[in-house]
Structure formats: C-alpha cells, structure tokens
Structure 1
Amino acid sequence: MSIIDLNVPEGTRLRLRAGEWGTRRQAGTNQNVIVWTVRVYQQEVGGTVWVRGHTCANPDPDCGGGWCFESPVASAAIRQNVEGTR
C-alpha cells in the first residue's frame, strides 16, 4: 500500500468505464458509471483507491445517505477525469 498525491474535490464527476471500478465479486462492474465524489482516499493498492460517492441525482443526491457508491477505482481513470482528458 502506498500514499498517492491525488486531489479530487468533493462533487467531482468521474466517468468510469467498465472494468475500471469494483472487484470481481461485485455485480455491475461490467458497465460504465458516473459518480459524483464524496471522498477519494489516498491509499493506493494494486493501482486502485477507494472512492465514495453518489450515482443517484446530482447535485442533490436522492439516496438519503452519505453515499450510495463505494468501490475501488483505478487511479489512472481518476487522474484522466481530473485532468480533463476524459
């Protein structure tokens, strides 16, 4: 595990492609998803970091919780989103 420099402000929209998020045990990893971030953690394991966010309505989430999406996400995919190359 290593700490990476990855600054992702709350509310950042991440466009994630199938295979860039989740684990083999999680259903839905074979689809694209848009996530509005709540928190992106800095501990990288195997090229991924944990992301908490919302996949429901934005800017006012309608899930009633602090987040409705929590998953490991490829660090490279997050960087592409933050840098505007996606």
Structure 2
Amino acid sequence: MTVDLTVPDGTRLRLRAGEWGTPRQASTDQDVVVWTVAVYRQEIGGTVWVRGHTCSWPDPDCAAGWCFEAPVALAAIRQNVEGKR
C-alpha cells in the first residue's frame, strides 16, 4: 500500500534499536542516525524502505550514493518528521 508520506532529502532520522532492520535481519539492536536520500512510500508490514547516509553530513565521506538501505518503521519516520525526536 502506498502511504501519504513526504520526507525531504537530507532529513535526519533518529532511529532506535528495533525500528529498522536489514534485508537479512528483522530488526537491529543499535540506534542509528540517518540522513535521508530517498524514503519510499510503499508500505510493507508497517515499514518503508529508506536510503541514506550514516557517515558524515552534509558531505558524505563514503563516496557512494548512499551507505544505508533498510526497512524502517513508518511510525518512527513520522515521529522524526513531526519533530518528536
């Protein structure tokens, strides 16, 4: 399902352990800060895919288009966008 969600590029998302996962792991056990490159609006099980950077910002030092790609809990993204984190 497509969700009504707008996250501008460069938005900082503070994600807590368990709110994001990897393709091989349902959730993680560490907090992370991600500066967004793309947030997809296709919801799957309460999550959407996020691409971004966890390295230096505003000039990423990884020399890639993104260094973070994972499913992220939609509720966590909304809290960040609404300024609750």
TM-score with structure 1 length normalisation? Answer: 0.93
Q: Tell me the CA shift for residue 68 of structure 1.
A: 0.1
Q: What SS does the aligned partner of 2:80 have?
A: helix
- Aligned equivalents of 1:74, 1:23: Cα separation in 2: 12
The runs of 5 or more residues in structure 2 that have no matched partner are none
Q: What SS does the aligned partner of 1:3 have?
A: coil
Partner of 2:12: 13
Q: Tell me the CA shift for residue 23 of structure 1.
A: 4.1
Q: Deviations for 1:25-73, whole angstroms, at most 9, x for unmatched residues?
A: 34x8110000000000000000000000000000000000000000000
TM-score with structure 2 length normalisation? Answer: 0.94
After the TM superposition, list the runs of 4 or more consecutive aligned residues in structure 1 that deviate by more than 4 angstroms: none
Give the 5 Å matches for 1:28-67. 29-67=28-66
Percentage of matched positions with identical amino acids: 76
- Aligned equivalents of 2:16, 2:58: Cα separation in 1: 21
Q: Tell me the CA shift for residue 24 of structure 1.
A: 7.7
In proportion to residue count, which structure has more strand? 1
